[in-house]
Amino acid sequence: MTSILVTGGTGFIGKKLCELLRSKGYKVVILSRTKTDKPNTFYWNLKEHYINPEAIINADYIIHLAGEGIADKRWSPQRKNDLINSRVETANLLLEKVKELNPNLKGFIAASGIGYYGATTSEKIYEENDAAGIDFISEICKVWEKASLQFEAINIRTVIFRTGVVFAKEGGALEKLSKPIKLGVGAPIGTGEQYIPGIHLEDLCNMYVEAIENNEVTGIYNAVAPEHITNKALTKIIAKKLKKPLWLPNIPAFVMKLILGEMAVMILEGSRVSSEKIMASGFKFKYSTLEEGLQSGI
């Protein structure tokens, strides 16, 4: 049985992905920062520079999702360090242990973000070979990807998914966007003209499975649906689905900056991102638009 080692396996994306992998007959092994007797769950500790060797030795593939939530807290200098280290240092630790214990690993599949291109609103459609941005979000993604690409340097097939805004009925972005609308205080944010490159959670998880099962998938891919939708259009679609009116004017940018600080740029800016490369690999989206996802009960 093919064994998949997953970091971040208890997170929003990780839980759904692990469920899907198990349903397809894969053995799923999770790394946990808490010692436990749960089956197929092994202890790791970044500060102690430790991973239970059994988790690494028996892995056919590693899916690396671990990392502090970018939007969970305001970006203090310490928080910025934590956001980077939780991605980069964990990848470095995995690399060290793979070199030591499992040089025949078949593949390393890692998350990154569309923030790589920078938080900016323009008419450009960003593709994988475009240059990185120059803000903090892009800096996270650059060093995150650099750490993951170390596996490629030791001849292990490496796949990186620059993930967009993830939508699902279980939570994530849709829950946050829907809440004010449900309360009758929903409105577009800032200009409302910023794009939100999104992807349905089910499609994202299927993309990771595709990376395991299709050896032709290698390198960096944008994990976003083909649709290009603005914050204003998305807000209207959600309100229509919930049968709620949108009475308020747009929420001013300065209000979001007061609430979120520097992190506000994540929701005030956004450009279009191309999904052409992943589709050219043969991957087919189940939900090409957010409206399709909403009709499925998202």
The answer to whether the Cα torsion of 256, 135, 64, 96 is positive or negative is negative
pLDDT digits (tens, 9 = 90+) for 126-143: 999 999 999 999 999 999
State the average pLDDT over residues 62-77: 87
| pLDDT band (50, 70, 90) for residue 235 | confident
- CA 253/CA 271 separation, integer angstroms: 17
pLDDT of 172 reads: 66
Local confidence band at 99 (pLDDT 50, 70, 90 cut-offs): very high
Torsion angle, CA of 168/223/160/206, rounded to 10 degrees?
Answer: 60
pLDDT at 57: 96
pLDDT for 297 beyond 70: no
**Per-residue pLDDT tens for 174-185?**
666 776 777 666
The percentage of residues in the chain with a pLDDT greater than 70, rounded to a whole number, is: 90
- Segment 112-127 shows an average pLDDT of 91
Mean pLDDT of 44-58: 94
Residue 290 near residue 102 (C-beta atoms within 8 A): no
Domains of the chain with CATH codes = 3-295 (3.40.50.720)
pLDDT at 295 over 90: no
Q: Read off the pLDDT band of 245 (50, 70, 90).
A: confident
DSSP string, 208-252: HHHHHH-TT--EEEEE--S---BHHHHHHHHHHHHT----SPPBP
